[in-house]
Copies of this chain bind each other. A is one copy, B any other.
């Protein structure tokens, strides 16, 4: 589904994009009162297909453990809405789309920010006639969008679930994303961003960027448990530069698979928006100021081995919310799965999330669903 916002969007960094096309997907039906909507914000390389397969690519939904009939975000009970972010490459206006003159934006796309992305999503809510969602929820970059919504549109959600996220990018996070951007921009096939016209694509650079990011999504323990120093389909090391170790071929595979589904310029623009994100700086350096007068309920979820968005950042966030007088809970799950834990099987996290969701639904007067329980089976198949 697409919404064409003809009025366009004025950007924080200056300039306007018009029209703005916003692609979204909905799973489950909106009730008569339009009170059962759950807005899920996707992460850096995610898309709007949170609860059903991408009809174009057949790619499975990215959060199937949590979204679906009988799942925590039960689509027989809630209407789960997810919007491809502004700057993305799954149908929303972004650098790989064409401007009003019919030319691919490329590096001519304006720099966007998390607040811009959130305003684009609010336009979709307006379009759908949803004044207020029951719950806004997101992990990683999705959590940043949820936080920004809490700051800018505090009354448009009854509750916010903030998962494996932070109120700003750390210097280390900026460093990792800068590494990825340099990898893309130094690929000769990037062509100053005009690879669409040139008929090239910076596959090598984008694959490197993905490899770098992927290392941050897993804990050292998770990498060790998954691969250790196991050799790739051989009995002894080859004394060469082929992928001797499983972790090497895994990384190469992650990089190669990614370039078939993601746009390189989108990667540049979205990571830049993440780097710029600093909610305290926008509120006189006091994070609590961002949440003054918040009447929604909040729950902050973190994972002990997440070194990309470490628990310390989540605790700082919970502290600021308490200081702002908000109703907030903090849930830290002990796990060795790292940042990607929120996409994987983590019963303790899922039980806490289910409790928060069900209480939120009860307060909103939404009848219980068919189960609202915890899914079995294995995790989603693609990380943040």
Contact = CB atoms under 8 A, between A and B. Distances in A.
A179 B251 contact: yes
A268 interface: yes
Interface in A248-282: 248, 251-252, 255, 268, 272, 275-276, 278, 281
Contacts of A113: 239
A211 B176 CA distance: 9
Contacts of A176: 215
Chain A interface mostly: helix
B224 A170 contact: yes
A346 interface: no
Contact of A174 (B168, B247, B281): B247
Interface stretch (A86-94, A182-190, A287-295): A182-190
A315 interface: no
A182 to B, nearest CB: 6
Interface string A207-245: 110011001000010011011110000000101110111
A60 B241 CA distance: 33
Nearest to A176: B215
A171 interface: yes
Contacts of A251: 175, 178-179, 182
B223 A170 contact: yes
A366 interface: no
Contact of A245 (B185, B208, B275): B275
A160 to B, nearest CB: 24
A174 B245 contact: yes
A316 to B, nearest CB: 13
A39 to B, nearest CB: 26
A247 B171 contact: yes
A153 interface: no
A14 interface: yes
A71 interface: no
Interface string A151-178: 0000000000000000011111011101
A229 B169 CA distance: 8
A181 interface: yes
What are the 7 tightest A-B residue pairs by CB atom distance, in nearest-first order?
A13-B239, A186-B204, A171-B223, A111-B239, A172-B220, A178-B248, A171-B247
14 contacts: A110-B239, A111-B239, A111-B241, A168-B229, A172-B215, A174-B245, A174-B248, A178-B252, A182-B208, A182-B211, A182-B252, A220-B310, A229-B278, A244-B276
